[in-house]
Structures are given as C-alpha cells and as structure tokens.
Amino acid sequence: MLKRKTPLKSKTNLGAKKKSNKLLDIIKGDDPAIIDKLKEKGLVRKASTLTKKRKPTGEKEVFFKIWESREHKCLTCGVYIHEAKAINFSHLLPKGKYPEYRLDERNIVLQCGDCHTRWHNYGKEMREVKKWKPFFRRYDDLWDEVYPESV
C-alpha cells in the first residue's frame, strides 16, 4: 500500500479556508489597515497574498497553447477535463530541477487534479500501476532525450 507524503486536511481546516477566500474576494487589499487586521485574526498569513501579483513565467501562454492543441483528457486515467486550470497541467520533469524544460510542451501533460496530486505525492512509485503506463511512456521518452547516454 502506498503511503501519503502529505496528511489529509481536516474538515475544520477546509471550512476556515473557505471563509478566508470569501473575505479575500470582498477585500481588494488597497487598505494596509484592513490587511493588518486580517493578519492579526489569522485570516491572511502574508499581505503579499492580497497585494502582489506573481511574476509572469510564460506558463500561462504555453498552457493555453497545449489546451487548444490537445484532447481535454487526463493522460493517466482518461477522465474528461472541463476547464484549463493550472492543476491540470503537469510537468513530467520537475520545473525546479529542470528549469530549461519548464516551458517545453513535451514536458507538460494534461492530468486531472487527482492524478496530478498522485504524481506529486508518489512519483515513480506509480510506474507499475497499469493506467499510468501512457504517462511513464512520455516520461521515459523525454528522460531519454535529456540523458541520451542512459539509453
């Protein structure tokens, strides 16, 4: 049996997160006094979550191109993916360790949220699971390209 790397969230934590998200939708983050009050109450950990925007990485454009050119199906389990969310775009080679492949379309596959989470939690342990065979075929092809001496 596979062991989870991250514990499941309790129902009480999920409820608190929803409450926090509702507040974030209402407050734009322009008033530092409001941000300080939210931080004091523990509803916001960092003010940057309200005010700072992320630096563009180029992933959004690549994800859109992939979404437009590929079937909207999870490569692993085959479930239909209804909308293009970041969780549905999975990097075969980790973008932190292989930054040169971050925007390479060959390194990005469509996966449902559940399969993407399993990939992060269990990684190569999933290799022997039958429905993961197409995923690992793509992974192995890219790995052989990155490390041709290992072939």
Q: What is the pLDDT of residues 86-125, one digit of tens each?
A: 999 999 999 999 999 999 999 999 999 999 999 999 998 9
Residue 89 in any domain: the answer is: yes
Kindly tell me the sign of the dihedral angle through the C-alpha atoms of 54, 107, 66, 74. negative
Q: Are residues 44 and 67 in the same domain?
A: no
If asked whether residues 134 and 71 sit together in one domain, one would say yes
Domain that holds residue 20: 11-51
Q: Please indicate, yes or no, if residue 5 is contained in any of the structural domains.
A: no
- Residue carrying structure tokens 């992933």: 59
R_g over Cα of the chain = 19
In a domain, 142, yes or no: yes
Q: Is the pTM of this model over 0.85?
A: no
Q: Say whether both 36 and 98 belong to one domain.
A: no
> 39 in a domain, yes or no?
yes
How many domains are contained in the chain?
2
Quick one: pLDDT at residue 56? Answer: 83
Q: Are 66 and 92 found together in one domain?
A: yes
Least Cα distance to 138 among 111, 103, 99 occurs for 111
